[in-house]
A and B are shown apart, each in its own frame.
Chain A
Amino acid sequence: MTAREAILRDVRRNLGRAEGATPPPPPEPRIRIPEVSREDRIARMLERVSALAGKTLHARSAGDAVEYVAARTAGQTAVASNAPFLRQIGVTELPGVQSGFTDERNLREACASAEIGITSADYALADTGTLVMMASPAEARLVSLLPPVHMAIVPAERILTGLDELFSLHPLPASETSSMVLITGPSRTADIEQILVRGVHGPGEIHVVVVD
């Protein structure tokens, strides 16, 4: 008997269930989406990110956003993801910004040495100040992970109220991506004497730029 058979047999025996018996319906998922105006969502998002020691900008135009990014990346090396939005607004054209990686080794090397990683985000969650990153050819995982600074530029209409809205729009994220990561503030630890230190493994500095 394989381990699989043995485990399933014991589970069924100890629960008194017959093989293949359909379970009763599970409790309805608890999804509640509050009505929140666009302005309030933006405000809440930025407020939450700031509370987590993230830096924020509400950019009235794409130009403002690019300018903000340019100020931070000046004199530094940066990697931008392949998100079309970043290209459209011109972030990828900034000096010192590398982008367009399609080869894993090059991407890794660039991310491992870059000071700044620039991405867009599929969504932001206003409730918690969270960025939602779905891995894809446009958004590689390492851009928001290896460099010590992460800048995310998010169109305002991508700000959802919270987890409930996210999972209501995407009840099955696995059908769309192999990796959905929620990022809520800079990487942190408090493992030594409960003293907070940022940037232990992921970026210790995070910027969220919301573009109207």
Chain B
Amino acid sequence: MPQRVSIFVTCIVDQLFPNAGMAMATVLERLGFSIDFPEAQTCCGQPAFNSGYRDEARTVASHTLKVLEGADYVVVPSGSCTSMMSHHYEELFAPGDARHHAAERLSPKIYEFSRFLTEVAQVEDVGARLETVATYHDSCHALRELKIKEAPRRLLANVKGLDLREMDAAEECCGFGGTFSVKFPGVSGGMARTKIDSILRTGASTVISIDSSCLMQLQGAISRAGLPIRTMHLAEVLASR
């Protein structure tokens, strides 16, 4: 088992949801990993990439590639940022470019948090306990680009006290989509409300995801509607005792 893992916490966790990042570190440490937090990390560059600013995305990607160069494993509390780094960095640079090769080398080392736990650390029970009725939201990039479907569910199934209920629209997008959420706010908000209807049908009081951006979107809409539901990052659930 590798001893040392680097974490890339993503800009959104750093600024808005640091507890998710701390929880991820806690879980990893409990499993015996020593954590390296490369200080120079900033953002994966996805906002620029998804907005069509390829040059700007390349600038940020080049930086991140350098920051993560020496890492054995990079663990990320986000499916979306993982997919940006493991799938799209390569596309940003022409095959001859040194950064293309750097991206190729980095790609297999980058793990979304739940996948790291189940595939590398090979644990499904991290000894967590949380008394709640919960439902799991599949974030789109984790589900469709990284094919992460079972890992978080298996981890949650082993959380004591947690009653996990599937929602009928688990795989439906929450409507965030980065700048989409503010370019088409009405559509984005409508998608969030549709998702929340599905959440409500489960009777869950906690919505869990592996992406903080989805949770921000959902919690924002839940809060606006004044509903008694909280959102939690998977790492926060797994760190609970």
Are any A and B Cβ atoms less than 8 Å apart in their complex?
A: no
Give the B-binding residues of A (Cβ under 8 A): none
